Chain A
């Protein structure tokens, strides 16, 4: 257990569906991240939130919509996805550094299949 939980663990959705992924961290961190892991490609950053504010959007299509209501929770809202969006979606958190380098802690991921 890393202190970062993700739900659901598995999700199958059609291209016209709307669903949300949830991430919660119990570590007292104030920075949270969404990453995407596709087959045959390196893990890639999608979004960064520091102190609930989005500080980075890595050119992610608008069919992915993040939400960070507080420092402990992060959501990824999904709508009209494409089959190529099928991947493992990983959430991570860390303490936003003030002069220190802190590790990122990852959740177990949500395996998303778009049919």
Chain B
């Protein structure tokens, strides 16, 4: 069964902290993995995409890593800001590459001023 687990489910930190969000998946063969941000009641914004041949991707204060052998990905957020408060979703496409994203339930982050 294809499953994605995100830990923790919720996180509250003071502004300025560096933090790590975790994602684990059951498929050993994935096509790519995406991290998304979702604000309350809104759609998804793609943050980073890591292809199966890559180990990490960086965009600004965000860094995502991928370890296929252990079935894990992490999203590192440096110097967190109140505007980073949102739900962060991890999703992957399996090796058949039909485009079907398998999502985790997300980590809800609150960054307090």
Show the binding face of A for B, using Cβ within 8 Å: 2, 4, 6, 31, 33, 35, 40-45, 48, 50, 55-56, 58, 88, 90, 92, 94, 96-97, 101, 103-109, 111
Contact = CB atoms under 8 A, between A and B. Distances in A.
Given A94-B99, A106-B43, A111-B41, A41 B105 contact: yes
A33 to B, nearest CB: 7
A45 B103 CA distance: 9
A97 B41 CA distance: 30
Contacts, number: 66
For the residues of A in contact with B, the DSSP-based class is strand
A50 B43 contact: no
Contact of A104 (B4, B41, B99): B99
For the residues of B in contact with A, the DSSP-based class is strand
Contacts of B43: 2, 4, 6, 90, 106-109
A88 to B, nearest CB: 8
B55 to A, nearest CB: 15
23 contacts: A6-B43, A33-B99, A33-B101, A35-B101, A41-B105, A42-B4, A43-B101, A43-B103, A44-B103, A45-B101, A48-B98, A58-B100, A90-B44, A94-B99, A97-B97, A101-B31, A101-B52, A103-B46, A105-B46, A106-B44, A109-B41, A109-B43, A111-B41
A100 B77 CA distance: 27
Interface in B20-56: 31-32, 34, 36, 41-46, 49, 51-52
Contacts of A43: 89, 91, 101, 103
Most-contacted residue by chain A among B41, B44, B97 (CB, 10 A):
B44
